[in-house]
Amino acid sequence: MARVLLSKADIGPVEERYVLEAVRSGWVAPLGPHVDAFETEIAARVGVRHALALSSGTAALHLALLGLGAGPGSVVVVPTMTFAASANAVCYTGARPVFVDSDTADGNVDAELLVRAVDALRREGTRVAAVMSVDLFGRCAAYADFEAELASRGVPLLEDACEALGSRRAGRAAGSFGAAAALSFNGNKIITTSGGGMLLSDDADLVARARHLSTQARAPLPWYEHTEVGFNYRLSNVLAALGRAQLTRLDGIVSRRRLIGATYARALADVPGIRFLGDPASETESNCWLTALVLDPAQSPVGAETLIKGLAEEDIEARHLWKPMHAQPVYAGEQAFVTGAADALFANGVVLPSGSSLTADEVDHVVSSTRRCLGMG
């Protein structure tokens, strides 16, 4: 059996057909009919008015933050449990990130602490340009607990839904929360364009401004003229074709990942000292991008590092949860509102292979190897 990867791209004949058509059309550079169609289809899927196809989810976050007014002299509040791109995009604007800790149940931002952090910053006279949420591992944050609170304070919300396409919260699609949202189509995401992302918003002016900046801020003249600095952030037509093909299969991809997460939860339910982030055994709204378990150091015979190494010896890729941003050397000096929850999740959490292309034999291999590593073999 080949090495079992964490989240391998799920590519087949449908994707081959779409990409071949794009290549044969001659539209191989950035922009083109597949880009336009991809934007329309993603916007319709998520339920927002406007979408902008970009080179990465990070680019989408960057342009959204600029549109929301982030810049020097301001801060953006960001969950500490996230991939570095969330915080890096804040720094691109000249703003400073301020980190907030996690809810222990699912790893998403602690909603009560988030609101308290915003209030504390505002009392200090700090300009909070925006709050960024992160839908961790595909599970939407608890928006009902803080979206209205932010709105009442006049603080815009940016949803980092880069891991969450196809997920919902209380029936509402990931990517539809806040003033704007970002999706990622990186190679390990739910659907992929190899590399790519999407900015989503109901705000036509915000998206139009981002569209202008994404093409090097070229002025609408018959020659190349620039009155401000822009970015090379657009998606190619060929990659958009790949994304459109993937989008036709999204429901099946999500269903498969949910089944894998539920299989892990049931098969490991009798193992002492473990729990799962969220409830993969009966998940109906998360896309289950990655299934994560958390070891109880008081009960588990091994720790996260030992489990990851043990699975690697069985040719299985498993990883730690995201190392919290407040613990990253590059962000060690930034302000943070922490309780220790994210630190504990990082110390004790492990993400298991979750890709929709995993075979039944590969899932069984992960289960049996995990049980052995945890003393249940």
DSSP 143-202: GGGTHHHHHHTT--EEEE-TT-TT-EETTEETT-SSSEEEEE--TTSSS--SS-EEEEES
By CB atoms closer than 10 A (0-12, 13-18, 19+), residue 325 is buried
* SS3 of residue 86 by DSSP: helix
Give pLDDT, residue 203.
Answer: 98
* pTM (2 d.p.): 0.97
Give pLDDT, residue 377.
Answer: 72
Q: Give the model's confidence band at 29: pLDDT under 50 very low, under 70 low, under 90 confident, else very high.
A: confident
Q: Give the model's confidence band at 280: pLDDT under 50 very low, under 70 low, under 90 confident, else very high.
A: very high
Give pLDDT, residue 219.
Answer: 93
> Following DSSP, what letter does each residue of 242-290 receive, concatenated?
HHHHHHHTHHHHHHHHHHHHHHHHHHTTTSTTEEESS-GGG-SS---SS
Q: What is the mean pLDDT of residues 51-56?
A: 98
Report strand pairing: 96-100 vs 336-337. parallel
Q: Are 101 and 111 in contact (CB under 8 A)?
A: no
Closest CA to 104 of 113, 95, 96: 113
Q: Give the model's confidence band at 277: pLDDT under 50 very low, under 70 low, under 90 confident, else very high.
A: very high
| Residue 143 token pair | 């928006």
Q: How far is CA 176 from CA 75, 111, 201, 208, in A?
A: 23, 18, 7, 18
Mean pLDDT of the chain: 97
Share of the chain above pLDDT 70, in %: 100
Q: What kind and span of H or E run contains 74?
A: strand 74-79
> In 10 A of CB 372, how many CB atoms?
13
| Residue 324 token pair | 């919290």
Give pLDDT, residue 1.
Answer: 76
Give pLDDT, residue 55.
Answer: 97
Say which residues have a Cβ less than 8 Å from residue 38's Cβ, sequence separation at least 6: 53, 198, 235, 240, 241, 243, 244, 247
Q: What is the mean pLDDT of residues 99-109?
A: 98
